């Protein structure tokens, strides 16, 4: 996957490459919106190599990525939190 883009209310949200570049053999993608919380859910891999990755974002930025084995999606193997950082002077 070369690039990914999310647009909310005509504003492009920056997606860190680390949020998606290591996800291979993508099978399905689902967008889930509950209240003000939006999650992009990706399923990929096969059998014991299968995974579910959830990329959570709001109207401004990617906030978190949670990855779990496709065989046990209730127990994440990786959680990445993205923080908003102030601009450098």
Query: Which tens digits make up the pLDDT trace of 30-84?
Result: 999 888 788 999 999 988 889 999 999 988 889 999 999 999 999 999 999 999 8
Is residue 88 assigned to a domain? no
Cα–Cα distances in angstroms (integers) from residue 48 to residues 5, 10, 30, 40, 70, in the given order: 29, 39, 21, 22, 7
DSSP 17: G
Is residue 26 assigned to a domain? yes
Q: What's the pLDDT at 70?
A: 92
Q: What's the pLDDT at 36?
A: 77
**Domain total in the chain:** 1
Helix or strand holding residue 32 (H, E): strand 26-34
Global pTM reads 0.85
Is residue 63 assigned to a domain? yes
Contact 78, 23 (CB under 8 A): no
Is residue 44 assigned to a domain? yes
Is residue 15 assigned to a domain? yes
What CA–CA distance (Å, rounded) separates 9 from 36? 13
Question: Which domain does 48 fall in, by range?
Answer: 6-81
pLDDT at 8 over 80: no
Is residue 87 assigned to a domain? no
Residue 7's pLDDT band (cuts 50, 70, 90): confident
Is residue 89 assigned to a domain? no
């Amino acid at each position: 996957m070369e690039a990914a883009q999310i647009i909310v209310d005509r504003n492009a949200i920056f997606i860190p490459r680390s949020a998606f570049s290591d996800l291979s053999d993508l099978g399905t993608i689902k967008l889930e919106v509950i209240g003000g919380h939006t999650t992009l859910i990706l399923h990929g891999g096969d059998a014991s190599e299968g995974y579910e990755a959830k990329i959570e974002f709001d109207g401004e930025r990617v906030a978190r990525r949670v990855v779990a084995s496709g065989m046990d999606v209730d127990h994440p193997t990786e959680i990445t939190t993205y923080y908003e950082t102030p601009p450098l002077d």
